Amino acid sequence: MTKTLGLIGAGNIGSALARLAVAAGLNVVLSNSRGPESLADLVAALGPQARAATPAEAADAGELVVATIPLSAYGRLPSAALSGKTVIDTMNHLPEYFGPIAELAEGELTSSELVQRHLTGSRVVKAFNNVDSVRLSALARPAGAPDRSALPLAGDDIEAKAEASALLDVLGYDAVDIGALADSWRSEPGTPVYVQPYFPAQPTQEMSQEEAYRWYLETPGVAVPADRVRELADAAVGTAPGRA
């Protein structure tokens, strides 16, 4: 059972995962590209179970490590420090925001396969990439709760997927195994299971930008059970990269 979670990246998803982990009784070691001192406020808010470190230190300390940085920066992940670790990849390819990645433009790899190629000594599992940080925080429920949601995961290593599934359970979610890293595209942007199912219907009246943002922050979300996640993932339309 994971007792210490390492986090490489402390943006919206990383911070949400850190809060869920601390609430579940785990220790967390947070890191980002700006240095441990930039995380002082977050660590103080999380309490004594949290500390800040460098990415390599977080990789070394975590029994399980989450990589939650822009995909365009995947090459900065400390591959040596992550060797032998299970690494949960929350990253999505968003070329409109972070620019294209040549290897993915060629259509031969999924983004998680690209991360795995960089982290040759690690076991990569794709998870936490299909839900926004607000709903990730708001929808977490204890095991057995009737309104518990599920999240998809994908990976090539059975034991690593079991570790990731156990973490999801501790943090408040059921896990739905959607296959290998080659299948991880089924939970990426533009697919049926990506983000939208966890939202209620948006109000029909026109809203200002400020009102829309407040609605985004304050809307708790909709529970999406495991069978629905499976159905949505299976409904993804497209061709697995490199396997046409």
* Residue 242 confidence (pLDDT) above 50: no
Q: CATH classification of 4-234, choosing from 3.30.200.20, 3.90.180.10, 3.40.50.720, 3.40.50.261?
A: 3.40.50.720
**pLDDT score, position 236:** 94
In which residue are the tokens 């095991």 written? 143
Q: Where exactly are the structural domains of the chain?
A: 4-234
- Over the stretch 151-201, which tens digit does the pLDDT of each residue have? 999 999 999 999 999 999 999 999 999 999 999 999 999 999 999 999 988
**pLDDT score, position 243:** 40
**pLDDT score, position 104:** 86
The pTM of this model reads 0.93
Strand locations in the chain (E): 4-8, 27-31, 50-52, 64-67, 86-89, 123-126, 150-155, 174-177
Of 9, 36, 4, which is closest to residue 21 (Cα–Cα)? 4
Cβ atoms 154, 187 nearer than 8 A = yes
